[in-house]
Amino acid sequence: MSVARPARSLLGRCVTSTRTSASIPLSARSFHTSAPCQQRRSRFRNVKAQELGLLKPENMAKLQKDKFPDYTPEELAELKQKYSPEHIESIQAGEKAVDTEDMIIQGRMRDDAYRPTYVDDYTVLDPRYDIKPDVPGTPQEIHWPSRGDWIDEYGMRLSKMVEKKTDDQLTRAMIRALRKVKQSKGEEMIDLTVEELDEMEKNPELAKKYMVEDDDAPEPDANASGPEYLTRAQAMQLDEAVVAAWQEELKKIAEHKDLTAEPSSLELMQDGPAGVIRVHSAELPELGKVPGVEGRFLKEEDAEDGGSDEAAAYQELKRLTGMSLSELMSLPAKVLVRRRVTNQTRLGKVHSISIVAMAGNGNGYLGLGVAKSTQPEIAIETARMLAMRNMKPIRRYENRTIFGHSTGKVSGTVVEMFTRPPGYGLRVPSRIFEMCRACGIHDLSVRMPRSTNPMNAVKAAYQALTNQPDPAQIAIGRGKKMVDARKVYYGGDVH
């Protein structure tokens, strides 16, 4: 039997109930519980033209003069020193094209701390935005001189460099002598100021401007007299003082060997691949090292090596380990694991190789080195160097086995090492066999109950060798004698 009521009866009840019930007025509610949003305000203070008083022409002219003044003669002279006449002409044309009244009315004058600065100095190149300008040059045919011609040309260039540096050195000595004479007793006799003498000492080329007279100028009369001329006695006294001071400066130059007039490395590179001479050559310039960067060049070869380390690759390793080159070269080093990796990039597949190498001295020292590179030779050499640098002492019992039971775990690989009696031998995997033989362990057994990943196995074995239990520390911690601790570990073998 159905218990559902007919729809007609339900609709009738709803209609009758609505007719009989009184209507109750309800207040309208908003659908949002938060407060209504206020009108957004600008981040910067907005000032109307009426508040600034710009409705009057005189106020507008005053504001234009204050905010956008014309260039003063001093500022124009300073701009002419920085920019060329073409730049000055373009700047003036831009000033005329922009109406300051439009900028005031239509623009917004910001006075906050975050306003941008639109004035840029285009005389200084910014490496982040600007590109280095090309030096104008006309390519010429490549000249391949013979060995004799090249030596002659190089000798001539060196002689000119030394001659120029010698002249500059003598000029600086003369300027220092003039400064001494001026400070002592030549204030009125020498009309050059101290600032001019300092500039001449920094740039000896300015000496021609101040000291060398023009050939076309008329020579002064020897019998002329006046306050601007020196007497014969004053001239002789000044000459004697300058010559004496100059002789002292020359003696200082002769005593100091570091003040020799030798060409610098930068001057010697002028004719090299990055020199100025390559501007007029069609030959492709070579990519060389940046001159003047200290600490990035190869060190000089040690004389004790006997020419075995021409690239100076072992110099830093010798300093860190304190070993000689012959000792480093005699260390047994071997590659244990090679793993190739391919990285898929938008430029294609990039292949690289990861190398794990070990090095030891056969007498209780062992080290591991891990390196990765796209070139196998570079990765192998780097791993060998790192293994030699990372060598650590390995504790050995009776110089043949380990102390007790040692365990190492890396990821899912577990290596368990057990000490064994004399003559037992090395019953271990091949890679751990090489490690034990490199550090001088001859009696050992190894069990690997879980993963046998080669790289993790080598790392776990090295961890087990470096974290062996120390019976002496255990005996001290438990308050026992060393004999008792060794009896527990080695079954009464206390020899």
- In the prediction, which pLDDT does 430 show? 94
Residue 440 has pLDDT above 60, yes or no: yes
Band the pLDDT of 302: cuts 50, 70, 90: confident
- In the prediction, which pLDDT does 358 show? 95
- In the prediction, which pLDDT does 1 show? 42
453-486: pLDDT as tens digits: 999 999 999 999 999 887 777 777 777 776 666 6
Residue 493 has pLDDT above 50, yes or no: no
In angstroms, the CA 417 to CA 428 distance is 9
Q: Which CATH architecture has domain 397-494?
A: 2-Layer Sandwich (3.30)
Give the mean model confidence (pLDDT) for residues 402-429: 93
Interaxial angle between packed helices 73-82 and 85-97, expressed in degrees from 0 to 180 and rounded to the nearest 10: 130
- In the prediction, which pLDDT does 394 show? 93
Which of 162-171, 237-246, 330-339, 413-422 has the least mean pLDDT?
Answer: 237-246
Provide the residue count of the chain: 495
112 token code pair: 């906050």
Band the pLDDT of 437: cuts 50, 70, 90: very high
Selected residue with higher pLDDT from 278 and 409: 409
- In the prediction, which pLDDT does 276 show? 57
User: Count of alpha carbons within 13 Å of 484, Cβ hemisphere only?
Assistant: 9
Q: How many helices (H) and strands (E) does the chain have?
A: 18, 8
- In the prediction, which pLDDT does 492 show? 42
Its sign, for the CA torsion 115, 119, 125, 131, is positive
In angstroms, the CA 92 to CA 193 distance is 38
Helix, strand, coil percentages in the chain from 3-state DSSP, rounded to 5: 45, 10, 45
Contacts 24+ apart (CB under 8 A), 139-148: 139/280, 139/281, 139/282, 140/280, 140/281, 140/282, 141/282, 142/281, 142/282, 142/283
Listing DSSP states for 328-356 in one string gives HHHS-EEEEEEEEEEEEETTEEEEEEEEE
- Which of 7-11, 84-88, 242-246, 444-448 is the most confident on average? 444-448
In angstroms, the CA 158 to CA 138 distance is 25
- Supply φ then ψ for residue 259, to 5 degrees: -100, 20
Which of 195-199, 215-219, 230-234, 376-380 has the least mean pLDDT?
Answer: 215-219
Q: Is 98 exposed, middle or buried (0-12, 13-18, 19+ CB in 10 A)?
A: exposed
CA distances (Å), origin 277, targets 141, 297, 302, 398, 473: 12, 24, 35, 70, 72
The hierarchical CATH code for the domain 331-393 is 3.30.160.20
109-149: pLDDT as tens digits: 666 666 655 555 556 666 655 666 566 666 666 677 788 88
Give the mean model confidence (pLDDT) for residues 294-310: 67
* Contact status, residue 394 vs residue 405, Cβ threshold 8 Å: no
- In the prediction, which pLDDT does 21 show? 47
Write down the pTM of the prediction: 0.42
* Contact status, residue 114 vs residue 154, Cβ threshold 8 Å: no
Q: Rounded to a whole number, what is the distance in angstroms from the first to the last CA of the chain?
A: 102
- In the prediction, which pLDDT does 147 show? 80
Question: DSSP state, 400?
Answer: T
Contacts of 428 (CB under 8 A, 6+ apart): 436, 444, 445, 446
Domain boundaries, the chain: 46-106, 155-210+233-256, 331-393, 397-494
% of the chain with per-residue pLDDT over 90: 24
CA distances (Å), origin 34, targets 41, 227, 381, 461: 20, 94, 69, 65
Contacts of 25 (CB under 8 A, 6+ apart): none
Interaxial angle between packed helices 471-478 and 482-490, expressed in degrees from 0 to 180 and rounded to the nearest 10: 130
Give the mean model confidence (pLDDT) for residues 283-308: 62
331-393 and 397-494 have identical folds = no
* Contact status, residue 422 vs residue 400, Cβ threshold 8 Å: yes
Interaxial angle between packed helices 454-466 and 430-439, expressed in degrees from 0 to 180 and rounded to the nearest 10: 30
